[in-house]
């Protein structure tokens, strides 16, 4: 062979070696995601499902389709839905991404795999990243987008990731709702066309819809069996989830920041990092997906995720804006007497020039109203110490009112388009501070830092956010970058929250946003819990907390005992039922205790004491939803079980009452079939114990048969109630 032919032969061999397929197996303890990262080719999806053995991995690589891009870009095969769409400075709107290499790095208890890609023509780069943990079955994926082109590149779409889902009898479950009706469950089969789930509020991203979905792969979702994929976009701002069902064999799922009104001008050398898209798979139904998300969230996403939460009394529904020292002291004394651990003073405590008497003034003026609290926060902390409880306070740091000293001094700090009229929110005066502005970030940080520096004994902050983006425009950003506002706001917010958490890692912070407007995993590294809804009606809370539990564990869901008639629905629900519902989340109270009878206080005292016994199981345990209220069978039931399967808490709520009605018997789930469990009813109001009180049953029996729950409570004549509920505590012998 002559030198020229030999050189050509060697070059061909080297090229062939360079093109050799590199399949990356991204694995958790029980799942695998496989991608084909062949050098010089597009990144391809191969497999997602149960964890593959070495032999099955090779089989999957050999037989599964490699036809779907794992991160499709616009420009080639334009009829397909893209993850990424850009315009280069020369007007070219094409990307042809090719793999240039891979890398793996180790983090604490996690592995990160990075697939590096570059456009075939331009110096435009995309890293597709995957993080897996050693102890949870969730895969995090995101992208890092950058370039070395001479001029700015405009991003029109920039998803976090996508996933092909094989067509069949696939159903999607997702959450929707509105103020006072959050977290409702919607279930529907996937059909041809485009399903879009999105948020455009700008501030509160889980009122009208949620950024989380489940895909049941073998028919309408079942709780404890069946193959289910779960996905959650972890972002504090506007998002968009899309499911495109075209003319091929898979539904294509995409998730990322909502690109509408948000084209992004990516400068040379800048990196645009998309939010994490969290994926999980379970063969144990929708509850199995929930357990995966809950464990991942507690271990890696949620502030203080493996600590139980305090039992608190919040002042809001008890007194609203009628804050005064005597009233706060009385409420502290009452919650302490019932065994509570924390008192939270809500809205209405601040404002000097503009006293906060209602919701139309004073936000931003975080100074105590001396007429309401002459001894200030220090006096309240002294009272809390006297009663042996902790103290918390309400703030709304991202907002102001136009009647406020803050707005008078800094009208340029609010979200507003230059030269445009303002639109106002709550109270007809509320405005949003521009968190893209570093001065505003410093102000918001200083609100918390100043409060905590002066009063380090404050244990808890309720962080509220009661307005959307009614005005598009930043007085801080340049005219050319006004389309960055929705993104830069949340970059500034997260930057500020990180500063707060760095200095105050032990501070407990509740995430409230007109109720449950910020229930998203993007927020939760900086928050301990969220207020599920401003609606505290126990019956409606069953439906809202049921849906919320799809993705969030019990200790994140603030669930409070409130007054009857309920302040939102005017429904009269017995105290026993209100307690039993509240005990399925993070138990608290939202009531004026001085208006309660002695018997009602005693029932709450006993319930709080019993909740302390079951709190580790409920807040840190594994959820098994048993019978959905959305099935309209007259009853809802669920349970929590600890990791050792030694303790369990079973909930049963009747959701409607008819004479001579017939309700299904509920089988339990998740127990150890070989263990025997002794049953004890909590919060009992019946004159006589249930037939199974104190008796023991095998886990196998309880999962095969359940227990016969009476439809009514055995009470004296004149004390009967039309609602019925039961909480059972199971302990292994």
pLDDT in tens, 147-184: 999 999 999 999 999 999 999 999 999 999 999 999 99
DSSP string, 310-327: PPEEESHHHHTT---HHH
Residue 411 confidence (pLDDT) above 50: yes
Distances in whole angstroms, Cα of residue 91 to Cα of each of 71, 83, 86, 481: 22, 19, 9, 19
pLDDT above 90 for 357: yes
Q: How far is CA 572 from the centre of its chain?
A: 30
| Strand 110-119 with 184-189, pairing | unpaired
pLDDT at 447 > cutoff 80 = yes
pLDDT for residue 480 is more than 90: yes
Cβ pair 670, 622 in contact under 8 A: yes
Multiple choice CATH, 312-397+436-468+497-620, 3.10.20.90, 3.20.20.70, 3.90.550.10, 3.10.20.30? 3.20.20.70
Helix, strand, coil shares of the chain, percent, nearest 5, are 25, 30, 45
Inform me whether the pLDDT recorded for 505 exceeds 50: yes
Domain 626-732 bears CATH identifier 2.60.40.1180 = yes
R_g over Cα of the chain: 28
Residue 319 has a pLDDT of: 98
Residues 6+ apart with CB under 8 A from 643: 621, 622
Sign of CA dihedral 465, 469, 474, 480: positive
pLDDT at 21: 75
Residue 1 has pLDDT above 60, yes or no: no
Between CA 613 and CA 235 the distance in angstroms is 35
Task: Tell me: pLDDT of 579 over 90.
Answer: yes
Edge-to-edge order in the sheet of strand 23-27: 23-27, 31-36, 44-50, 68-69
For Cα atoms 466, 471, 476, give the angle at the middle one, nearest 5 degrees.
100
What is the average pLDDT across 200-221? Answer: 97
> pLDDT band at residue 20, thresholds of 50, 70 and 90?
low
CATH 3.20.20.70 residue spans of the chain: 312-397+436-468+497-620
**Can you tell me the mean pLDDT for 26-49?**
98
Mean pLDDT for 123-137 is 98
Q: How far apart are the first and last CA of the chain?
A: 82
Is 622's pLDDT higher than 80?
yes
Model confidence pLDDT, tens digit, residues 256-288: 999 999 999 999 999 999 999 999 999 999 999
Q: What band does 5 get if pLDDT is binned at 50, 70 and 90?
A: very low
pLDDT beyond 80 at 226: yes
d(CA 176, CA 198): 10
Distant-in-sequence, close-in-space partners of 636: CB < 8 Å, separation ≥ 6: 542, 546, 627, 628, 629, 652, 653, 655
pLDDT exceeds 80 at position 294 = yes
DSSP label at residue 28: -
Mean pLDDT across 482-490: 98
pLDDT above 50 for 567: yes
Q: How far is residue 27's CA from residue 309's CA, in Å, rounded to a whole number?
A: 32
Task: Specify the higher pLDDT residue, 77 or 602.
Answer: 602
What's the pLDDT band for 418 if we cut at 50, 70, 90?
A: confident
pLDDT band at 11 (very low <50, low <70, confident <90, very high): very low
User: So what's the pLDDT on residue 103?
Assistant: 97
The pLDDT of residue 78 is: 82
Residue 331 DSSP symbol: H
In this structure, which topology does domain 20-301 adopt according to CATH?
Beta-galactosidase; Chain A, domain 5 (2.70.98)
CB 518 within 8 A of CB 204: yes
The mean pLDDT value for 406-429 works out to 96
Give the closest residue to 110 by CA, choosing from 301, 282, 284, 287.
301
- Model confidence, pTM: 0.96
CA distance 340 to 593: 12
Long-range residue pairs from 373-378, CB within 8 A, at least 24 positions apart, any chain: 373/323, 373/324, 373/325, 373/328, 373/349, 374/325, 375/325, 377/451, 377/454, 377/455, 377/458, 378/455
All CATH 2.70.98.60 domain ranges in the chain, comma separated: 20-301
Determine the 3-state secondary structure of 657 from DSSP: coil
With cut-offs at 50, 70 and 90, classify the pLDDT of residue 14: very low
Does residue 581 register a pLDDT over 70?
yes
Please write the tens of the pLDDT for every residue from 698-733: 999 999 999 999 999 999 999 999 999 999 999 999
Task: Assess whether the previous peptide bond of 668 is cis (omega < 30° from 0).
Answer: no
Phi and psi angles of residue 419, each rounded to the nearest 5 degrees, phi first: 80, 0
The per-residue pLDDT of the chain, averaged, comes to 96
Q: What percent of the chain has pLDDT over 90?
A: 96
What are the residue ranges of CATH 2.60.40.1180 in the chain? 626-732
Residue 659 has pLDDT above 60, yes or no: yes
From CA 619, how far away is CA 548, in angstroms rounded?
A: 14
């Amino acid at each position: 062979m002559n030198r020229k032919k030999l050189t050509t032969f060697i070059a061909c061999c080297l090229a062939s070696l360079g093109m050799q397929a590199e399949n990356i197996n991204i694995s958790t303890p029980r799942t695998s995601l496989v991608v084909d990262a062949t050098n010089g080719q597009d990144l391809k999806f191969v497999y997602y499902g149960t964890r593959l053995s070495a032999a099955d991995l090779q089989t999957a690589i050999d037989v599964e389709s490699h036809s779907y891009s794992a991160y499709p870009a616009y420009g080639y095969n334009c009829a397909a839905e893209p993850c990424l769409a850009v315009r280069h400075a020369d007007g070219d709107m094409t990307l042809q991404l090719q793999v240039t290499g891979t890398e793996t790095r180790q983090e604490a208890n996690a592995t990160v795999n990075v697939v590096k890609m570059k456009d075939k023509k331009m110096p435009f780069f995309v890293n597709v990243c995957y993080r897996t943990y050693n102890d949870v079955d969730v895969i995090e994926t995101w992208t890092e987008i950058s370039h070395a082109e001479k001029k700015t590149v405009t991003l029109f779409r920039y998803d976090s990731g996508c996933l092909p889902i094989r067509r069949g009898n696939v159903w999607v479950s997702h959450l929707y709702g509105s103020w006072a009706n959050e977290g409702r469950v919607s279930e529907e089969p996937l059909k041809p066309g485009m399903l879009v789930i999105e948020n455009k509020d700008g501030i509160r991203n889980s009122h009208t819809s949620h950024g989380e979905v489940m895909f049941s792969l073998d028919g309408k979702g079942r709780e404890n069996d069946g193959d289910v994929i779960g996905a959650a976009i972890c972002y504090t701002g506007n998002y968009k989830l899309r499911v495109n069902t075209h003319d091929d064999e898979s539904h294509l799922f995409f998730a990322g920041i909502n690109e509408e009104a948000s084209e992004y001008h990516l400068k040379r050398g800048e990196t645009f990092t998309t939010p994490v898209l969290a994926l999980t798979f379970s063969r144990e139904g929708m509850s199995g997906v929930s357990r995966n998300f809950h464990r991942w969230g507690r271990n890696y996403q949620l502030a203080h995720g493996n600590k139980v939460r305090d039992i608190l009394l919040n002042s809001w529904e008890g007194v609203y804006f009628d804050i005064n020292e005597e009233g706060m002291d009385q409420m502290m004394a009452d919650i302490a007497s019932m065994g509570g651990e924390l008192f939270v003073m809500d809205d209405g405590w601040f404002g000097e020039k503009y006293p906060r008497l209602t919701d139309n003034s004073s936000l931003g003026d975080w100074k105590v109203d001396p007429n309401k609290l002459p001894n200030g926060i220090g006096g309240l902390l002294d009272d809390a110490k006297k009663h042996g409880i902790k103290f918390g306070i309400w703030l709304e740091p991202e907002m102001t009112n136009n009647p406020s000293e803050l707005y008078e001094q800094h009208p340029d700090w609010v979200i507003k388009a230059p030269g445009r009229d303002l639109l106002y929110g709550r109270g007809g005066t509320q405005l949003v501070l521009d968190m893209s502005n570093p001065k505003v970030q410093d102000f918001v940080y200083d609100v918390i830092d100043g409060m905590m520096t002066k009063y380090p004994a404050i244990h808890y902050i309720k962080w509220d956010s009661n307005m959307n983006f009614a005005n598009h425009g930043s007085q801080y950003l340049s005219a050319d970058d006004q389309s960055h506002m929705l993104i830069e706001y949340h970059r500034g917010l997260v930057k500020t929250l990180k500063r707060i958490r760095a200095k105050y890692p032990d501070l407990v912070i509740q995430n409230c946003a007109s109720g449950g407007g910020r229930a998203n995993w993007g927020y939760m590294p900086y928050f301990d819990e969220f207020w599920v809804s401003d609606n505290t009606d126990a019956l409606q809370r069953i439906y809202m907390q049921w849906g919320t539990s799809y993705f969030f564990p019990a200790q994140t869901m603030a669930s409070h005992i409130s007054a009857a008639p309920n302040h939102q629905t005017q429904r009269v629900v017995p105290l026993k039922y209100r307690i039993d519902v509240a005990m399925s989340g993070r138990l608290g109270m939202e009531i004026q205790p001085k208006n309660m009878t002695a018997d009602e206080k005693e029932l709450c005292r006993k319930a709080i004491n019993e909740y302390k016994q079951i709190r580790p199981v409920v807040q840190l345990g594994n959820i098994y939803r048993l019978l959905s209220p959305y099935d309209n069978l007259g009853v809802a039931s669920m349970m929590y079980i600890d990791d050792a399967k030694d303790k369990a808490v079973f909930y049963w709520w009747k959701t409607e009452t008819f004479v001579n009605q017939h309700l299904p018997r509920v089988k339990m789930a998740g127990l150890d079939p070989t263990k025997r469990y002794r049953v004890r009813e909590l919060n009992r109001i019946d004159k006589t114990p249930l037939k199974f009180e104190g008796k023991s049953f095998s886990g196998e029996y309880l999962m095969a048969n359940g227990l016969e729950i009476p439809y009514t409570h055995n009470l004296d004549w004149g004390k009967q109630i039309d609602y019925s509920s039961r909480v059972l505590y199971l302990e292994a012998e």
